[in-house]
Amino acid sequence: MLFNSLDFAIFLPIVFILYWFISSKNIKHQNLLIVVASYVFYGWWDWRFLSLIIFSTIVDYTVGQKLKIAESQSRRKALLWTSILVNLGFLGFFKYYNFFLDNFISAFSFFGADIKANSLNIILPVGISFYTFQTLSYTIDVYRRKLEPTKDFIAFSAFVSFFPQLVAGPIERATNLLPQFCTKRNFDYSTAVNGMRQILWGLFKKIVIADNCAELANHIFSNSIDYSGITLVLGAVFFTFQIYADFSGYSDIAIGTSRLFGFNLMRNFAFPYFSRDIAEFWRRWHISLSTWFRDYLYIPLGGSRGGTLMKVRNTFIIFIVSGFWHGANWTFVIWGALNAVYFLPLLLTNKNRNNLDIVAHSRSLPTFKELLSILTTFSLTVFAWIFFRAENLGHALQYASDILQHPSSFLSFSVYLRYKTIIVLLGAFMIIEWLGREGEYALEKLVLRWKSPVRYTFYYSIAYAILWFGGKEQQFIYFQF
């Protein structure tokens, strides 16, 4: 079920009413309702893959219980690896089987060996990368004794399958989300209103910004050989906004929906395109995944301790793995590696934690230096997204090199004019994001400064823009990851 669908618009109020009015007397009933609703939500796409979620839930719940009583380190390790192998086994099979097979065949044929093996026609279960990482966080935290395993199977099932963030995150930590399923939820008016506001902003991002940018970016990337340099740059910029508005829009709707049910999910985006360097960008982009990799991969590998070589190795590992997490294609690996190359100079000169505060905090405008840093970081990001979006490496390289051809096209006013509507929309969107950058999402604090009539006019304008400018419905990009 898509958040931007009529199905969800009907589903959400029904679950909300059942949750607060029918099952509100008993927390177990509420959790059970969440599990059932989440399975319906997921099964709406393909009920067969529910079995994977249920299997993962049973395995991790059992491993958690056994870890509680296991004393010897070797047994604990064995249990941890059981969970890792089962979860990553599913992920590896459904997501990476064909990729590895094709690459093995290519590698062997390069050396003259003719291997015959058929690729499988595998459907990638929606959200598998997200819920796999979420359940793994539980097992690892229990193994590290950071978290006491829960006895409550229903609460644990609800944690694994919680529908607002099941298919595209934020990837929650068991230490944050699981306790919320075991404590009573009181309906809070201002939290719910905040949730509604965040949902509205998320829908605007998705339907107005992402879907419109998607149409243009898809067309330009699909026909890139026909376009001049400036159109290719615009295509990459449109994709840059598409992926941000799509994914952060999804996160906003997920977090906003969770608020309606009394849950507090972690923040996933913090205005990444206003970052002053790449390190700051990665602290602000897909925070739940970056911190997951930091805590469960980077730090165990030694993090930024140790010698220079170790730092370089760990940085490349984490960025490449992060790229590969997005999909079984070399383009994602190169995208990850490119970001590692951007990040390394900052790490090696100890400047990776220079920009921890909000840019231009308590000022309306950035300084010239800040503006320059933001634009430089943005440009580097746009360039990296070309590799992320391209069909394959050849396409990415061709696209990037074609940008530099016909530099005179950059002065062609008619090209900008052709895309004037989306350029105006993006301008308005970025202004709102800039003004609201001190909140958790753009509208959170911004609109509260305004008087009621202005605020409601603004809400209605957004709703109107969703109806008027809404692009052709597209699936959320991160569903495929």
Which C-beta is closer to another protein: that of 356 or that of 467?
Answer: 467
Please select the residue that binds another protein; options are 28, 48, 75, 353, rule is CB under 8 A: 28
Active site residue 326: yes
Residues 253-292 touching another protein, rule: CB under 8 A, are none
Binding mask 149-168 for another protein (x = CB under 8 A): -xxx-xx-------------
In Å, what is the CA distance from 231 to each residue of 240, 314, 335, 397?
A: 14, 37, 21, 16
Please select the residue that binds another protein; options are 31, 194, 198, 251, rule is CB under 8 A: 31
Please select the residue that binds another protein; options are 1, 18, 88, 192, rule is CB under 8 A: 192
Number of residues that bind another protein (CB under 8 A): 43
Which C-beta is closer to another protein: that of 261 or that of 388?
Answer: 261
DSSP state at residue 379: H
> Is cis: bond before 170, omega within 30 of 0?
yes
Q: Which stretch binds another protein (CB under 8 A): 86-94, 130-138, 177-185, 412-420?
A: 177-185
d(C-alpha 149, C-alpha 10), whole Å: 35
Binding of another protein by 463 (CB under 8 A):
yes
Which C-beta is closer to another protein: that of 30 or that of 268?
Answer: 30
Q: Mind giving me the DSSP string for 323-371?
A: HHHH-SSHHHHHHHHHHHHHHHHHHHTT-TTS--S-TTTT-SS--HHHH
Q: Which stretch binds another protein (CB under 8 A): 146-154, 225-233, 352-360, 383-391?
A: 146-154
d(C-alpha 331, C-alpha 337), whole Å: 10
Q: Which stretch binds another protein (CB under 8 A): 188-196, 245-253, 289-297, 370-378?
A: 188-196
Q: Which stretch binds another protein (CB under 8 A): 17-25, 163-171, 277-285, 406-414?
A: 17-25
* Half-sphere exposure of residue 372: CA atoms within 13 angstroms, side-chain side: 3
d(C-alpha 263, C-alpha 188), whole Å: 11
Please select the residue that binds another protein; options are 75, 448, 472, 475, rule is CB under 8 A: 472
Which C-beta is closer to another protein: that of 87 or that of 150?
Answer: 150
Binding of another protein by 296 (CB under 8 A):
no
For residues 267 and 213, is the Cβ–Cβ distance under 8 A?
no
DSSP state at residue 111: T
The encoded tokens of residue 447 equal 């609109």
d(C-alpha 287, C-alpha 170), whole Å: 8
* Spatial CB neighbours of 300, under 8 Å, sequence gap ≥ 6: none
Please select the residue that binds another protein; options are 179, 303, 366, 439, rule is CB under 8 A: 179
* Spatial CB neighbours of 128, under 8 Å, sequence gap ≥ 6: 52, 90, 91, 94, 95
Residues 118-137 touching another protein, rule: CB under 8 A, are none
Which C-beta is closer to another protein: that of 138 or that of 298?
Answer: 138
- The 10 Å Cβ neighbour count of residue 22 is 11
Residue 198 beta carbon to another protein: minimum distance, rounded to whole angstroms:
14
Q: Which stretch binds another protein (CB under 8 A): 25-33, 212-220, 288-296, 320-328?
A: 25-33
d(C-alpha 141, C-alpha 178), whole Å: 12
Binding of another protein by 181 (CB under 8 A):
yes
Which C-beta is closer to another protein: that of 146 or that of 353?
Answer: 146
Which C-beta is closer to another protein: that of 135 or that of 331?
Answer: 135
Nearest Cα residue to 440 out of 175, 179, 255, 185: 255
Active-site pick, 29, 219, 286, 326: 326
d(C-alpha 288, C-alpha 351), whole Å: 23
Tell me the catalytic residues.
326
Residues in contact with another protein by the rule CB under 8 A: 20, 24-28, 30-31, 145-148, 150-152, 154-155, 175, 178-179, 181-189, 192-193, 196, 456, 459-460, 463-464, 467-470, 472-473
